[in-house]
Structure 1
Amino acid sequence: MFRPLSLLIINISKHNVASQIKYSTAILPRLSSEKYNIKRKSFGTINESDINHFRSILSENRVITDESDVLPYNIDWIKNCRGQSKVVLKPKTTDEVSEVLSYCNSKKLAVCPQGGNTGLVGGSVPVFDEIVLNFSLMNKVISLDDISGALVCEAGCVLENLDNYVRQHNLIMPLDLGAKGSCHIGGNVSTNAGGLRLLRYGNLHGSILGLEAVKADGTVIDCLRTLKKDNTGYHLKHLFIGSEGTLGVVTKVAVHCPAVSKAVSLGYFGVNTFEDVLQLYRNAKISLGEILSAFEMADNRAICSTVKNLKLTNPLEDYPFYVLIETSGCDEEHDSEKLNRFLSKEMESGHIIDGTVTSEPAKMRTIWNIRENIAEAGLHDGYVFKYDVSIPLNNYYDIVLLLRKKLEGKYTNIYGYGHIGDGNIHINVTVPEYSKEVCDMLEPYIFEQVAKLKGSISAEHGVGFRKPQFIHYSKDESALRLMKDLKHLMDPNGILNPYKVLPDV
């Protein structure tokens, strides 16, 4: 039966939890170069004269060289990758970024662009001694047209701050992520981030109206337009969207923000089988139509891990699968009628066993917290192998069952959760500590299984440092050759985010 949500669920800040996990122990992850047997490329080595030059461009307090201060910028938040950078630069303007890159290019000094450092594939931290170019101080909103919904801002703006800002003008950001309290919009664009609202608003690249980026040689590429329609030549902005800072560094972004929905409801349901999950999604698309804004799934182990490790409260009893369905519209009476009619039908058919529905913002937030904290909860169990793949829906959950069988006796937990609406499943494999044996059992096995189904080895988190050697499972040789040609054209010295995205061989 359905019931109002009455249980208290602790509201956990993504940023705070990540910070606590990241620095709760003095044990540092192994250096990425050693862990993955990577050899340093023939880049220049930074010296005191370089440091002094950067200080002349920026200022003393925006050139960080103290080892303890630099350390956090060398480690990704899931403690998988660790670089060896000696300096972090914090520009405030595009001109400063241009000067820094121009100098680095002339000296062949490698650079690692970094936003909120919330990525899961090591793309935002150095591998060796690359200079970290951190965008946290480029965090200004430049303009907002509340008629067209065009927001222009700097790359270092935190996603949640932008969402709060545009909501004051009855708009929302088209992107919603579990890491929204920490991630930067520039990083979101550079990885073409997906997230919870993709079912309603599509991939982020469809919402990017324009951008400004700086090439490796310091050239500023101005594609910062706010028009939805502009068919004048090549769509150059798409070169930078999803390129993870390897072709140029995004400094400003123009985003189309849709109108905020006046009527939003969230349902959280217990489901018996994955076949019921799929049937529920099929029926939701038909019955809810234009008001369906999110359809999320998590298996029992994923929810139990979150509830146990983060001391949350699950408002439902134990079920094999859980589904979150969000509706967003402009007519509360009309939308409520559609939703109730749909839920009554699905309860009668047995696709939904139990659930709760709410339209109160605070209660919706508590339910979303259970789903959004799954990624962080696994870190409490030790080391987590995280995979972000897209698979045809009929085979969506099969990979979880295959991995449990293949790794029997080798893991603490294996679970799957993600975005049914776009075929993106997140697979977490937890072990007490990093194991080369388990890693070899997982990779490339998991990518081979995805390739057999013509899926993608990276659905929304990018390729980064962890997946270049596996990119051929999703891109054929002709596509890879073109990508390498573009890289050589735009960054001939290869200084931008080396060791990321493209394989060396």
Structure 2
Amino acid sequence: MARRAAAGLLRRLVPLAASDTQPRRGMYPAQYGATNRYFSIFYWIQGQQHPLYGCRTNVETDDSQQSAQMNFKVQKRSFSSSAAHIQRNPTYSVLNSDDVSYFKSILGESGVVQDEDRVAVANVDWMGKYKGASQLLLLPKSSNEVSKILSYCNSRRLAVVPQGGNTGLVGGSVPVYDEVNGILTCEAGCVLENLSSFVENKGFIMPLDLGAKGSCHIGGNISTNAGGLRFIRYGSLHGNVLGLEVVLADGTVLDMLTTLRKDNTGYDLKHLFIGSEGSLGVVTKIAILTPAKLPSTNVAFLSCNDYISCQKLLLAARRSLGEILSAFEFMDRHCINLAMKYLEGVHNPLPVSPYNFYVLIETTGSDESYDKAKLEAFLLRSMEDGLVTDGVIAQDISQASNFWRIREGISEASVKVGAVYKYDLSIPVEKLYDIVEETRSRVGDMGDVLGYGHLGDGNLHLNIVSTKYSDEMLAQIEPFVYEWTSKQRGSISAEHGLGLMKAEKIHYSKSSEAVQLMASIKKLFDPNSILNPYKVRRYV
């Protein structure tokens, strides 16, 4: 392709009609609140009694078995995995009025929620995937209150499920920021988007960015070791979290809230809690590194003919863009078709003809003219080499927001089809799309198979969508997806954790020796297994 023709492709997109004041990913209007006002940590206290609001579709409880066997059937109809029968641990105590009175004595009336509707909301995950049977919602405001709750629950052997979310029910302190070293210290209930706004007003950014940033809490991000869109540039939370405060199952407050960059005095215990999904302790405070906010950001939306071109483009981007490369996301044409159909207000940046694959590249740097020239030169070479067939660079905030809305909205769009089976896999990049094609062959006409994700991290989001759920569909997907991933020495959970869905599938990614060591660590930190029971691995 002639260089002039390639340059014409990159520059032919005119500004969209949408207002330029619409914030792009990672950028917020100046009037956006600088501090977070909601610092809430939730606890589900599980007992043997019926939930106050009765049973609904995602949990089916047989009345006769409830008192005799406490056999809970958690239906995973909505996304993946067949219904799991979880035998309730009979050593857990029954929640009683004395327990409620104690919680009220330390939290006050407003900190203990028994209202059926409010508890019902807390019992269902945000996508309706699971439904719990908790009867009580507690709203502590401090580490000391969390400590008292866990100490009491441990002594009574009441199971506890920590939960975060943007609820705005309790107040808290303002985050503390060290502008010299770029270190943020905050409570676990801070909403990620609010923290991003807070540090951006000081000239920094959070190293973590997620599509759910408007509702997720930083404590939950730490507990699940969330990855997200900036992983390729800033790495994992294991490398960015400097210190933690954690409340253990017996109420002990473990102070590891250091802000030191270097500390080799003994074991670095904080790493045990990053990604432990609340099964070892409850994270209450965090100290995290925040990179400097760079003034130049460019976003390109590109198309490729095949997956091998996407791979080669990633390698070329690492070599040519180097230090300014901040995101490299890929989507197949099935994702784009779905996004255009179900997402409101999005525009296809490359509407002339359909392509097999699409790539979103973002760069951030300190010199706008240099960075843009570097990106354009890279894209022109990629077009001349046949790696890119078409492409555009965002000319304003509206266009950049539109590009990111397409990528971040795929998960939202997939839910609107009716039925979706979701898998979050870590696979060597050269093999990453093979499982999409093989799954598509197995599923056939029963559904549409989508492949997208963080190509720079080797993280595939495999979604199978259909108008309805069926055992026939599930049989074609599982255990095939887990077995295939295991054969590639991949991970069945790249960034979403194990939770309840994959608690019994950990052996596909970890050796029996590793799993046994995890069990020993769990027993050491939580001998009564009160913290987030039945998750990660079903400890009984």
TM-score (norm 1): 0.91
1:371-450 superposed matches below 5 A: 371-411=407-447, 413-450=448-485
2:378 to 342, 367, 370: 342
Tell me how far apart the structure 1 counterparts of residues 293 and 319 of structure 2 sit (CA, whole Å): 23
Write the deviation string for residues 313-334 of structure 1: whole angstroms up to 9, x where unpaired.
2121221111000111111222
Question: SS at 1:212's partner residue?
Answer: strand
Match of 2:501 in 1: 466
What's the secondary structure of 2:414's corresponding residue? helix
Percent of paired sites with the same residue: 49
Q: Identify which range, 456-465 or 437-446, moves more after superposition.
A: 437-446
Deviations 1:403-450 (A, max 9, x none): 111111322x21011001110000111122333332333222101100
Asked if 2 retains the 8 angstrom alpha-carbon contact of 1:138 and 1:154, the reply is no
Please state how far the C-alpha of 1:37 moved relative to its aligned partner: 1.3
- Does the CA-based 8 Å contact 2:427-2:488 persist in structure 1? yes
Question: Residue 348 of structure 2 corresponds to which residue in structure 1?
Answer: 314
Is 1:234 the counterpart of 2:243 in the alignment? Answer: no
Count how many residue pairs are aligned between Structure 1 and Structure 2.
Answer: 476
CA shift, 1:242, in A, is 0.4
The corresponding residue for 1:125 is none
| Structure 2, unpaired ranges of 5+ | 1-8, 26-54, 61-71, 76-83
Equivalent runs, 1:64-83 vs 2, <5 Å: 64-83=113-132
The separation in 1 between residues aligned to 2:537 and 2:197, in whole angstroms, is 36
2:142 to 90, 93, 103: 93
Deviation at 1:359, TM superposition (A): 5.6
Aligned equivalents of 1:186 and 1:243: distance in 2? 12
Bigger mean CA deviation after superposition, 352-361 or 390-399: 352-361
Counterpart residue type for residue 330 of structure 2: M
Distance 1:6 1:333, change over 3 A: closer
Q: Which amino acid aligns with 1:38?
A: I
Code of the residue aligned with 1:155 in structure 2: it is A
Amino acid at match of 2:120: L
Q: For residues 114 and 305 of structure 1, what CA distance do their matches in structure 2 show?
A: 31
1:286 corresponds to which of 297, 304, 319: 319
Q: Does 1:4 align with 2:13?
A: yes
Question: C-alpha distance in 2, partners of 1:330/1:272?
Answer: 33
Superposition RMSD in Å:
2.0
Contact 1:385 1:428 in 2 (8 A): yes
- What are the Cα deviations for residues 11-62 of structure 1, in whole angstroms up to 9, with x where unaligned? 7999xxxxxxxxxxxx954217322111111211111211111111112122
CA–CA distance in 1 between the matches of 2:146 and 2:475? Answer: 40
Note if 1:41 corresponds to 2:89.
yes
Q: Where in structure 1 do 4 or more consecutive aligned residues deviate above 2 Å?
A: 3-14, 134-142, 358-363, 431-441
- Report what 1:104 is aligned to: 153
Mean CA deviation greater in 434-443 or 155-164: 434-443
Match of 1:172 in 2: 205
Q: From the superposition, tell whether residues 266 and 292 of structure 1 become closer, same or farther in structure 2 (CA, over 3 Å).
A: same
Q: Please state how far the C-alpha of 1:140 moved relative to its aligned partner.
A: 3.6
Equivalent runs, 1:19-34 vs 2, <5 Å = 29-31=57-59, 33-34=72-73
Which residue, out of 155, 160, 179, partners 2:193? 160
Displacement, 1:504? Answer: 4.8
* Structure 1 pair 374–79 and aligned structure 2 pair: CA distance change class (3 A): same
How many angstroms apart in 1 are the aligned matches of 2:508 and 2:461?
18
Give the alignment partner of residue 102 of structure 2, picking from 53, 65, 77: 53
Q: Distance in 2 between matches of 1:338 and 1:88?
A: 53
CA distance in 2, matches of 1:500, 1:5: 49
Q: How does the TM-score come out when normalised to structure 2?
A: 0.85
Q: Give the Cα separation in 1 of the matches to 2:184 and 2:15.
A: 37
Indicate if the aligned counterparts of 1:291 and 1:327 stay in contact, CA closer than 8 A: yes
| Structure 1 equivalent of residue 215 of structure 2 | 182
Match of 1:149 among 154, 176, 182: 182
Tell me the distance in 2 between the aligned counterparts of 1:442 and 1:28: 26
Is 1:498–2:528 an aligned residue pair? no
| Residues 504/215 of structure 1: CA separation in 2 closer, same or farther (3 Å cut) | closer
- Within 1, Cα distance between the matches of 2:18 and 2:165? 26
> In the TM superposition, what is the alpha-carbon distance from 1:138 to its structure 2 partner?
6.5
Paired position in structure 2 for 1:333: 369
CA–CA distance in structure 2, aligned partners of residues 362 and 139 of structure 1: 34
Give the gaps of 5 or more residues in structure 1: 15-26, 118-133
Distance 1:229 1:375 in 2: 39
For residues 137 and 438 of structure 1, the distance between their equivalents in structure 2, rounded to whole angstroms, comes to 44
Query: Counterpart of 2:330?
Result: 297
SS of aligned partner of 2:416: helix
Question: Taking structure 1 as reference, are residues 8 and 420 closer, same or farther at Cα in structure 2, changes over 3 Å only?
Answer: farther
Seen in structure 2, the aligned counterparts of structure 1 residues 465 and 6 have a Cα distance that, compared at 3 Å, is: same
Amino acid at match of 1:40: R
Match for 2:510 among 470, 475, 481?
Answer: 475
Matched letter for residue 382 of structure 2 = E
Question: C-alpha distance in 1, partners of 2:98/2:469?
Answer: 39
Farther-moved stretch of structure 1 (78-87 vs 436-445): 436-445
Matched letter for residue 297 of structure 2: V
2:4 match: none
Distance 1:139 1:207, change over 3 A: farther
Is the contact between residue 226 and residue 496 of structure 2 (CA under 8 Å) also seen in structure 1?
yes
